[in-house]
Amino acid sequence: MGCSCIKHNLVDNIENEFNTTEENNNSTKSNNNKINNEIINNNKEILSPIHITSDKNNKSENNEILLKSKNILEDKEESEKIKLENNNINIKEEKESEYLSKNLYNKKIFELINKIRQNPPEYSKFVLDNIKYINIENKEEINQETEMKEIKQIFIFKKKVKIKLYKGEENFLETAKLLKNTSPMKPLNFNENIVVPIFDNLENSINYNNIIKDKNINLFFKGNIKNPEIAVLLMIIDDNEFSEKKKRNAILNKEFKHIGIESKFVNNKFIAHFSFSKG
């Protein structure tokens, strides 16, 4: 009898344990279903298609939903458009950098010109600082009228290179004043398509007018100073007896959007080409 009771109690306990577990499972399932239903209800507006009610009283609400949906789509399209434009800009800049990186002179000139355009007043200080490199030298020349020798004073800019000037300090001061009163402007884009090539044969035999016309270039000039910093400085000063300040006016021209630069040595002579375009 004793064994029978123990066995009976054991079975009862096992059954009770099973029943309790089943109830807990049922309760857990019920809770899980409740939570899932809440999640679905909370996310209906996001996951479900827009529901348009047919009740006439809800027309304004439906219109508002449609307007919101339209705005979301337009914002998405605009975002994709901006993303695409930025990608195109990055590709363009990468191509420009690849071209410029092949020639450090071209790269440095490009950076200096854009630095001046973006802050002309700041560069005016650099112009004034370089007045100290202007020297006056005596040069013996033949007077074409009297055919007699004469001593003539000339202005020389001497800093890493030696360049003859026309007005000297006067032109430096005038340039600094102009820069100080010039508003910042957009930087130039480097455009490989308007680069005027430098040929290895005699420069005078090349018809550059045809090249400039074909490439739709608005302004073109040459240079022969191989130091980028000095080259740009003297372009801005543009102190030449026959100069019409076209070099300075090109660099500070707000209408110009593109620049092309090429440089190389030809028969041990340094040559640089600068071309500008409005579009």
Q: What's residue 66's pLDDT?
A: 67
Name, of 51-60, 77-86, 168-177, the range with top average pLDDT.
168-177
Which residues, 6+ apart, have CB-to-CB distance to 185 below 8 Å? Answer: 117, 118, 120, 252, 254
pLDDT at 247 over 60: yes
Q: Higher confidence at residue 262 or residue 206?
A: 262
* Lowest-pLDDT range of 18-32, 33-47, 74-88, 236-250: 18-32
Q: Higher confidence at residue 6 or residue 137?
A: 137
pLDDT digits (tens, 9 = 90+) for 177-204: 999 999 999 999 999 999 999 988 765 6
Q: What is the CA radius of gyration of the chain?
A: 39
Q: How confident is the model at residue 254 (pLDDT cuts 50, 70, 90)?
A: very high
pLDDT digits (tens, 9 = 90+) for 125-153: 999 999 999 999 998 888 888 888 888 88
pLDDT at 4 over 70: no
Q: What's residue 200's pLDDT?
A: 86
Which residues, 6+ apart, have CB-to-CB distance to 181 below 8 Å? Answer: 121
Q: How confident is the model at residue 279 (pLDDT cuts 50, 70, 90)?
A: confident
Give me the chain's average pLDDT, please: 78
Other C-beta atoms lying within 10 Å of the C-beta of residue 240: 16
pLDDT digits (tens, 9 = 90+) for 66-111: 666 666 766 666 656 555 555 554 445 555 667 888 899 999 999 9
Q: What's residue 63's pLDDT?
A: 65
Fold classification of 102-131+166-277 is Pathogenesis-related Protein p14a (3.40.33)
